[in-house]
């Protein structure tokens, strides 16, 4: 279990690239596996979560290989032509691939068992079990609707119209993917817009998808028994990974870095808007479109951040970035208030309590509320750091580990975390990139 101390650093300089977007990488592998013929994927994130998706799709009948130049080639089996896996699908730490694959297999006529690591096995799956059961799939889950669980797909499944009770791109995507092999039209009603990578990419792969409005809410319809067509997918840089370097540059004096090719999808880039609201100097250079997704190069310079009340409607577009936003808030001038973040309690860890404990240990002033944190900033002064012999508990959560690593860069005595191993689930090159940018 590799513990590590992150020390205060010199300014972050130069130009860096962050790994490919995790959400888009998962979907590229899945949808290419459902297209008949060969798709190619460039820029795929090669973290443990995405590799778990690749492994699962191989077990379901797709032929997936990585070429020496880093391009991935996928020979798909076709919608409705997946095969029953011979053994349990081990999803590791990946909640995204678990929920999306449950949707995909819900309309195939066979059984599959899903397992995962200790962290994933504590995460709730009832939110996808509920709509998929309405479509005819049946489930045997562990107590509390968690993994391990067995799914029996329905063939044919029944199309439904499902109104999301909680803003969740994963639940939306699970229902739409179940709709791919369901005769008729499956509809999802979204009261609050969530990340739309599934819709964008399914349309590119040739699915019949319509997006409209009903009573002021987003209505997404998909026509089943789809034929997907192979594509060449270029995966943009992950805004969730870029967020750690954006915040690091904002809080370390003298920093001026450029992060290349960052996905700027409006349903994902909330962290940029929130940090700008706090006074962050983040410039978008050469905004462009890559593979149906908006991207830009981001130039980020050290800024005197101010506390702010973060609009809860931003939450779905930056839900994974709140841990590192809390770090920025801890070094801002004044008080930052966040609310509407109950979803953070059921991530890889309870990220509200984990970050409240971690930042308090490092010397920040934090109040934990039911649905958010109130953070009183230092006004730009370094955090004291973790006392000698104490370690931040990362609770097997990659984003806690990386966020507190960033906090260490702007601390007096450094921040020690108990385990950096989870970082490789989403950002295997984090430590090397950080070392390179802060020399």
Residue 223 known to bind ligand:
no
Residue 27 known to bind ligand:
yes
Say how far apart CA 218 and CA 169 lie, in whole Å. 13
Assign residue 291 a region (left: φ > 0; alpha: ψ between -120 and 50; beta: otherwise).
Answer: left
Residues 239 and 291 sit within 8 Å (Cβ to Cβ)? no
Residues 436 and 357 sit within 8 Å (Cβ to Cβ)? no
- 4: which residues sit within 8 A by CB, 6+ positions away? 405, 416, 417, 420, 431
Residue 163 known to bind ligand:
no
Active site residue 286: no
- The encoded tokens of residue 60 equal 């379901």
CA distances from 435 to 6, 10, 301, 362 (A): 10, 10, 18, 21
Residue 172 known to bind ligand:
no
Residue 351 known to bind ligand:
yes
Residue 147, CB-side half-sphere exposure with 13 Å CA sphere: 24
Q: Exactly one of 21, 196, 238, 320 is catalytic; name it.
A: 320
User: Are β-strands 72-76 and 372-376 bridged in parallel, bridged antiparallel, or unpaired?
Assistant: unpaired
Say how far apart CA 329 and CA 275 lie, in whole Å. 9
Say how far apart CA 208 and CA 222 lie, in whole Å. 6
Residue 22 known to bind ligand:
yes
Starting at the earlier edge strand, list the strands of the sheet with 365-369: 335-337, 372-376, 365-369
CA distances from 236 to 97, 134, 260 (A): 19, 35, 9
Helix ranges, 135-257 (H): 169-180, 197-204, 239-251
Residue 231 known to bind ligand:
no
How far does CA 170 lie from the centroid of its chain?
10
Residue 347 known to bind ligand:
yes
Residue 268 known to bind ligand:
no
Say how far apart CA 374 and CA 212 lie, in whole Å. 37
Say how far apart CA 393 and CA 16 lie, in whole Å. 29
Say how far apart CA 187 and CA 222 lie, in whole Å. 6
Task: Name the residues annotated as catalytic.
Answer: 320
Which parts are annotated binding residues?
22-23, 27, 95, 123, 168, 170, 320, 347, 351, 399
Which parts are annotated binding residues for phosphoenolpyruvate?
22, 95, 123, 170, 351, 399
Which parts are annotated binding residues for 3-phosphoshikimate?
22-23, 27, 168, 170, 320, 347
């Amino acid at each position: 279990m590799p513990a590590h101390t992150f020390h205060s650093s010199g300014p972050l300089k130069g130009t860096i690239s962050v790994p490919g977007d995790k959400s888009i990488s998962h979907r590229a592998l899945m949808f290419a596996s459902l297209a008949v013929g060969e798709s190619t994927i460039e820029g795929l994130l090669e973290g443990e979560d995405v590799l778990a998706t690749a492994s699962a799709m191989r077990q379901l009948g797709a032929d997936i290989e990585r070429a020496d130049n880093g391009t991935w080639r996928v020979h798909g089996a076709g919608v409705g032509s997946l095969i029953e896996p011979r053994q349990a699908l081990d999803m590791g730490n990946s909640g995204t691939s678990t929920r999306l694959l449950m949707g995909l297999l819900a309309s195939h006529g066979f059984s599959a068992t899903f397992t995962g690591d200790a962290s994933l096995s504590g995460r709730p799956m009832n939110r996808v079990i509920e709509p998929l059961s309405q479509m005819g799939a049946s489930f045997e889950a562990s107590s509390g609707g968690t993994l391990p669980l067995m799914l029996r797909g329905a063939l044919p499944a029944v199309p439904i119209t499902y109104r999301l009770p909680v803003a969740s791109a994963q639940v939306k995507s699970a229902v739409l993917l179940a709709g791919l092999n369901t005769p008729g039209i499956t509809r999802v009603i979204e009261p609050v817009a969530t990340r739309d990578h599934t819709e964008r990419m399914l349309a590119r792969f040739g699915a019949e998808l319509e997006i409209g409005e009903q009573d002021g809410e987003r209505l997404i319809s998909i026509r089943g028994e789809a034929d997907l067509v192979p594509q060449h997918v270029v995966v943009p840089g992950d805004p969730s990974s870029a967020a750690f370097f954006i915040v690091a540059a904002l809080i370390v004096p003298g920093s001026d870095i450029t992060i290349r090719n960052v996905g700027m999808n409006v349903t994902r880039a909330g962290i940029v808007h929130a940090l700008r609201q706090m006074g962050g100097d983040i410039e978008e250079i050469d905004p462009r479109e890559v593979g149906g997704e908006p991207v830009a190069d981001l130039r980020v310079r050290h800024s005197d951040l101010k506390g702010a009340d973060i609009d809860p409607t931003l939450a779905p577009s930056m839900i994974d970035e709140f841990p590192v936003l809390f770090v920025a808030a801890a070094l801002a001038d004044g008080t930052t208030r966040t609310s509407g973040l109950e979803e953070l309690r059921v991530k890889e860890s309870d990220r509200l309590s984990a970050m409240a404990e971690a930042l308090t240990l490092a010397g920040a002033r934090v109040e934990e509320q039911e649905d958010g944190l109130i953070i009183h900033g230092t006004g730009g002064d370094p955090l004291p750091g973790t006392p000698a012999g104490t370690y931040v508990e990362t609770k097997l959560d990659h984003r806690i580990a990386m966020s507190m690593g960033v906090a260490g860069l702007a601390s007096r005595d450094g921040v020690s975390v108990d385990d950096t191993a989870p970082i490789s689930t989403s950002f295997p090159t984090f430590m090397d990139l950080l070392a390179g940018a802060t020399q």
